[in-house]
Amino acid sequence: MGAIFAVVTGILFGLGVFQLLRRDLIKVAMGFFILFTAINLFLLAVGTFDGRVAPYVQPGTFERLEDAVPNGIPSDPLVQALILTAIVISFGSYALLLGMLNVVGKRKNSINADDLDDLKG
């Protein structure tokens, strides 16, 4: 499981960086989102060093933590909270980026990164 996570995160990371370096700005935006997904997966993997089942605790009193969870050792719920926050933030920046690319495309009639070269000083 850990190996699959590592491979998938690595592939997504590579895809994201590759797309970020493209000329087409829509592809750049896609790459940005893929990269964010890769990082979210990485955060999720960080939380599974002890166990992998959902951190759901049965009602009642228990001696050990393992007994309180129905199917074994729970994974760390903190990183899942972090991922929720990160998803909200990435959604916000992604929407902002696409909105700005929309304006750029209308003004310039192009979304090629090479055409955005008016800033020279």
Q: Is position 98 an interface residue for other proteins (rule: CB under 8 A)?
A: no
Binds other proteins by CB under 8 A, chosen from 25, 30, 34, 69: 25
**71 vs 93, beta carbon nearer other proteins:** 93
Q: Is position 36 an interface residue for other proteins (rule: CB under 8 A)?
A: yes
CA distances from 38 to 48, 110, 120 (A): 16, 29, 34
Q: For residue 112, give the DSSP letter.
A: B
**61 vs 85, beta carbon nearer other proteins:** 85
Q: Is position 104 an interface residue for other proteins (rule: CB under 8 A)?
A: yes
Q: Is position 34 an interface residue for other proteins (rule: CB under 8 A)?
A: no
Which token pair is 120?
Answer: 């020279």
* CA atoms of 46 and 9, how far apart (whole Å): 12
Binds other proteins by CB under 8 A, chosen from 49, 56, 62, 91: 49
SS3 content of the chain, % helix, strand, coil (to 5): 65, 5, 30
* CA atoms of 12 and 79, how far apart (whole Å): 19
**65 vs 70, beta carbon nearer other proteins:** 65
Q: Is position 75 an interface residue for other proteins (rule: CB under 8 A)?
A: no
